[in-house]
Amino acid sequence: MKRLLLVLPFLLAACDSGVSVPTETAVLKSSSLAANGGSCTLANGSTANTGFDQWGYNRCAHIFNGTWEGYCTEPKRHAVPDCYGVSRTTKLVMKWNEEWDRGNAEKWLVPPYAAWLDNEARGTYVDGTPYSEHFKTKWDAGCAASHGAVSSNGGSCIWGPFEILMDQGTEAGEHFWWTKLTPAGYGN
C-alpha cells in the first residue's frame, strides 16, 4: 500500500465548507468572480484577488480546486509538478476556514483555534497506480498540549497540533480507512 495521506504540509493552504464543488461550477464561478475584479483581506493582513488564480487557489473563498501540478508549482512551494509522488494531472480540492488562515498568520502560537481542513484527491501516483483520498483534520487542544502525541478525543495527531478526523480512500481499486473518528465531523 503506497498511502500518500493527504496530510502534506498544507499549513500554507487548506480548505472550506466540506462540500466538494464540481469542476464545471468552480470554473464558471471563477470566471465570473474574476470579471468583477474584487479582492479580500486575509487573516495575515495581505490582500488577495477574488476568483481562482492560475494554480487553482481562491484564497478569498478558502478553496483550492485544481491539479496536483498547480499545488506543487505554486510560488510559495517551488516544487516539481509531481511532488510527493503524485501525478501532475491528479485532481485536488482543498477547503479550509478562516481560522486556518488565522493560525497560519500567527504561526499557531495564539490558541485556541477553531481551524479545520478538508482535502480530496483523485488520480494516480507517478507510477500510474490509481488512488483517491479524502482527509479531514482540525486544530486540537490535546494535540497542541502534547506536541502531537495525544488528541483530546483519542485520535491521531499530525503536524503537531492537529487531529486527524478522517482519512480514507482507494489504491488500485481497494478501499481503505486509514483513520476514522466517530463522529468524524469538525464539531464546535
DSSP string, 51-109: S--TTSEETTTTEEEEEHHHHHHSTTT---TTGGGB-TT-EEEEEE-HHHHHHHHTTT-
Domain range for 86 is 23-38+49-138+168-178
Query: Is there a domain that residue 188 lies in?
Result: no
Query: Is there a domain that residue 148 lies in?
Result: no
Query: Is there a domain that residue 14 lies in?
Result: no
Per-residue pLDDT of the chain in tens (188 residues, 90 and over written 9): 454 444 443 333 333 333 333 333 333 333 334 444 699 998 888 899 999 999 999 999 999 999 999 999 998 888 998 888 999 999 999 999 999 999 999 999 999 999 999 999 999 999 999 999 999 999 999 999 999 998 998 889 999 999 999 999 999 999 999 887 766 677 75
Burial class from Cβ neighbours inside 10 Å (0-12, 13-18, 19+) for residue 81 reads: middle
Total structural domains within the chain = 1
Query: Is there a domain that residue 98 lies in?
Result: yes
